[in-house]
């Protein structure tokens, strides 16, 4: 597909249905998507986040961070948003990068691991949307990591949780 000279990925039917549902308003401000492993949840997550302007956030296991980068580089040609996979440096460095993107009002997705997301003050930023990948990693609803991330992102209006592992 071409939109303003930007090559966009062609989604599989199930990905398009998830995206349509998430962006339709039927999901209100949160949706949870379960899909088998290797069915393109990351690409769906990128397309969901592309639907919003400003700073967006993806949180995933550290082991999945490069999948976000691979899908971004593999499916987008001249994308209209930046992707910053923050898998190098200290939590302080990653916080500084997010703060810089926010300050510059860049249309971008920051990708953080769950461990880093629980360590930095995400509530300082007005993210336009958030995706949690492999959301089962949040664990119990009353677990320390889950509660900290949920509290910090409470003010984000549009949130999607994706998993390939049944809870």
**Predicted local confidence at residue 81, as pLDDT:** 94
For strands 6-7 and 2-3, give the pairing: antiparallel
- Per-residue pLDDT, averaged over 15-41, amounts to 75
The pLDDT tens digits of the residues spanning 83-125 come to 999 999 999 999 999 999 999 999 999 999 999 999 999 999 9
C-alpha distance from residue 70 to each of 21, 39, 46, 97, 105 (Å): 25, 15, 11, 20, 24
Contact criterion met (CB below 8 Å) for 9 and 75: yes
Under 8 Å between Cβ of 160 and 33: yes
- pLDDT, mean of residues 135-162: 84
**Is the pTM above the cut of 0.85?**
yes
pLDDT for 110? 98
Is the pLDDT at 139 greater than 80? The verdict is: no
Per-residue pLDDT at 29? 64
Does the structure show a pLDDT above 70 at 153? yes
pLDDT of 36 > 50? The answer is: yes
Q: Which secondary-structure segment (H or E) carries 11?
A: none
Q: What angle do CA 5, 8, 13 make, to 5 degrees?
A: 150
Which DSSP category does 12 fall into?
Answer: P
């Amino acid at each position: 597909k071409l939109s303003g000279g930007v090559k966009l990925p062609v989604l599989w039917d199930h990905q398009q249905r998830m995206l349509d549902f998430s962006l339709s308003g039927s999901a209100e401000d949160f949706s949870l998507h379960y899909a088998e492993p290797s069915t393109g949840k990351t690409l769906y997550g990128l397309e969901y986040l592309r639907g919003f302007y400003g700073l967006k956030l993806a949180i995933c296991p550290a082991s999945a961070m490069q999948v976000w980068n691979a899908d971004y580089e593999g499916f987008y040609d001249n994308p209209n948003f930046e992707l910053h996979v923050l898998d190098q440096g200290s939590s302080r460095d990653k916080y500084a990068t997010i703060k810089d993107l926010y300050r510059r009002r860049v249309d971008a997705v920051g990708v953080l691991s769950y461990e880093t997301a629980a360590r930095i003050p995400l509530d300082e930023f007005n993210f336009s949307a958030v995706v949690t990948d492999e959301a089962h990693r949040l664990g119990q609803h009353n677990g320390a990591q889950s509660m900290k991330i949920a509290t910090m992102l409470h003010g984000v209006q549009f949130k999607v949780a994706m998993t390939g592992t049944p809870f």
